[in-house]
Amino acid sequence: MAQVKFESHAERVEERIPFQTLVHEMLEQLGEDPKREGLRQTPARVEASLKWLTRGYGMNVDEVIGDALFEEKHESMICVRDIEIYSMCEHHMLPFFGRAHVAYLPNGRIVGLSKIPRVLEVFARRLQVQERLTDQVADALCDVLKPLGVGVVVEAYHLCMMMRGVEKQNSKTVTSALRGAFRDDGKTRDEFLRLVHGGSFAL
């Protein structure tokens, strides 16, 4: 395949190799025959699927939350548990998937509950590392809600660990991000961890 020289952004867009050509080339380099029946539509399918799986690049938290913020005096912890997540590891472009548990302690303002999984989508649907995903969700909720605290725990299985390399098929990676009272106040943290561990998730 011809080498393409990239000089400026504008030029890069002009000369960009079509996505499906890249997939076609990849199939050939893997030793496949992209012309055989089962693979003929594969470049188109891979393009559609990868663009969908990384659609978070085109999303942002403000848009997702919209006007679903409400003034409310509720003072207790709000926790949404067992939110399914699917993401892609940026090191291998292989999926990692599992559950997230998100909680916050409001400070006069709450968010529509269905918006919390959508905030996760903004960050999960792009190339990620689980640690950054966890932090980004916590920081986004802090920005939007200005709460007394936020806690996020993500438990995930990484196909790059399960299918290749170490082949540790049952190891689950757990990450957490604690902000405000979740970090500084033992009682709040304990309540959160008790809610999170109230049930365990297994494949």
Active-site pick, 101, 128, 158, 191: 158
Task: Calculate the alpha carbon distances from 78 to 19, 89, 101 in Å.
Answer: 43, 29, 11
Which residue's CB is nearer to Zn ion, number 92 or number 109?
Answer: 92
Which residue's CB is nearer to Zn ion, number 128 or number 188?
Answer: 128
130 annotated active-site = yes
- At 192, list the tokens: 């959160």
Q: At residue 132, what are phi and psi to the nearest 5 degrees?
A: -70, -40
25 annotated active-site = no
User: Residue 196, by phi and psi: left (phi above 0), alpha (psi -120 to 50) or beta?
Assistant: alpha
CB atoms inside a 10 Å sphere around CB 72? 12
197 annotated active-site = no
Which residue's CB is nearer to Zn ion, number 39 or number 127?
Answer: 127
Beta pairing partners, 87: 96
CA atoms within 13 A on the CB side of 50: 15
89 annotated active-site = yes
Active-site pick, 75, 90, 131, 169: 90
With tokens 């559950």, the residue in question is: 99
Distance (Å, whole) CA 25 – CA 35 = 11
Q: Quote the least distance from Cβ 136 to Zn ion, whole Å.
A: 18
Which residue's CB is nearer to Zn ion, number 71 or number 167?
Answer: 167
Which residue's CB is nearer to Zn ion, number 56 or number 151?
Answer: 56
Active-site pick, 79, 130, 155, 191: 130
Q: Quote the least distance from Cβ 128 to Zn ion, whole Å.
A: 10
Helix (H, G, I), strand (E, B) or coil at 89: strand
Active-site pick, 20, 25, 92, 121: 92
Q: Quote the least distance from Cβ 183 to Zn ion, whole Å.
A: 28
With tokens 């980004």, the residue in question is: 136
91 annotated active-site = yes
Active-site pick, 24, 79, 89, 101: 89
Contact between 153 and 130 under an 8 Å Cβ cutoff? The reply is no
Which residues of this chain interact with Zn ion, rule CB under 5 A? 89, 91-92, 160
- At 97, list the tokens: 């998937």
Nearest-CB residue for Zn ion: 160
Q: Quote the least distance from Cβ 100 to Zn ion, whole Å.
A: 18
Q: Quote the least distance from Cβ 82 to Zn ion, whole Å.
A: 24
Q: Which residues are catalytic?
A: 89-92, 130, 158, 160
